[in-house]
Amino acid sequence: MNQRVAMVLLAAAVLAGAHPAPSFAADDAERSVKPVQFKKGSSSATLTGRIQGRQYVDYTLRAGAGQHVALKLEASSASAYVNLLPPGSPDAAMYIGQVGDNRFEGLLPDDGVYTLRVYLVRAAARRDAATRYTLTIAVTGKPLPPLSAARDALVAGTRYHAQATIACAPAYTQTKQCAAGVVRRGVDGSATVELRWDATRTRRILFVKGSPVAADVPQPMKFTRDERGQYRIVFSDDERFDVPEGLVFGG
């Protein structure tokens, strides 16, 4: 089994709850929340701390779609990890430290507050293990701002420039249709497409100049574009979304 396949299988196991990762709740007494602010003129920060047992730290950072994030966690315990959570997500991560060796570089798919969660795996937490850690985070590049309502009218009461219902097959569901909303960031096919299939589950995909380049999930993304201009976006061959070209480009 090659390393890429092993990483995909491990990511699927974590998402399915088979891997010994801890459970988290937004009001957890063991949770500490620490906003990250870069010093003036800097785009990076080095954060240090200590956690023990079920303690975990959520570092929150506001960033924009299209910006590049790089993070690295170094810890005195091999049981310490960092996850990257997209805006609004209490638990589901777009990067899982247990899969990626506590190092990540990539583009951010949407605007908002991202969370870098430092924690100990369940087995270590149960035996009340402790670790010191150093977390390095850098955010570079200019964000892709949404088009103004004057340039592309918004759907009333939303942040979307357009909405649609699309064919989809999210993992671990029987769902066949998803609600789609698009935040257009240019007239060249740059946009964030948000896909929703229940009250809490979403996928956000960033398109740049007509190509999907980033998403808020840990699995690798593949896509095809047919003669009708429809994108089929697939994550690890067990989840797909069919996004019309017109939703991304408008017009």
> At 14, phi and psi to the nearest 5?
-65, -45
Given this model, what pLDDT does residue 112 score?
Answer: 97
Question: Which of 29-36's residues contact partners 24+ apart within 8 Å by CB, and which partners?
Answer: 30/54, 30/55, 30/56, 31/55, 31/56, 31/57, 31/58, 32/56, 32/57, 32/58, 33/57, 33/58, 33/60, 34/58, 34/59, 34/60, 35/59, 35/60, 35/61, 36/60, 36/61, 36/116, 36/137
pLDDT at position 200 over 50? yes
117 closest CA partner among 32, 237, 13: 32
What's this model's pTM, rounded to 2 decimal places? 0.89
Query: Which tokens is 53 given?
Result: 């047992």
- Percent of the chain residues topping a pLDDT of 70: 89
Residue 15 has pLDDT above 50, yes or no: no
At residue 8's C-alpha, the angle toward residues 61 and 235, to 5°, is 75
Cβ pair 177, 166 in contact under 8 A = yes
Query: What is the rounded average pLDDT of the residues 77-88?
Result: 97
Whether 58 has a pLDDT exceeding 60, the answer reads yes
Token output for 228: 């009708």
Instruction: Note the pLDDT of residue 23.
Output: 64
Helix, strand, or coil (residue 87): coil
Burial class (CB in 10 A: 0-12, 13-18, 19+), 137: buried
Q: Over 50: is that where the pLDDT of 13 sits? A: no
| Rounded mean pLDDT, 128-147 | 98
Checking if the pLDDT of 11 tops 90, the result is no
- Kindly state the DSSP code that residue 54 receives in the 8-state scheme: T
Q: Can you tell me the mean pLDDT for 208-218?
A: 96
- 213: which 2 tokens? 């380049």
* 36: nearest Cα among 92, 84, 101: 84
The mean-pLDDT minimum among 75-79, 138-142, 164-168, 170-174 falls in 170-174
By the 10 Å C-beta count (0-12 exposed, 13-18 middle, 19+ buried), 198 is classed as exposed
Residue 1 scores a pLDDT above 90: no
Is the pLDDT at 145 greater than 90? The verdict is yes
Query: Per mean pLDDT, which range of 113-122, 142-151, 198-207 is the poorest?
Result: 198-207
CA distance 134 to 121: 17
pLDDT band at 12 (very low <50, low <70, confident <90, very high): very low
> pLDDT tens digits for 19-51?
445 667 656 789 999 999 999 999 999 999 999
What was the pLDDT predicted at 26? Answer: 55
How much is the mean pLDDT over the chain? 90
* pLDDT grade for 238, boundaries at 50, 70 and 90: confident
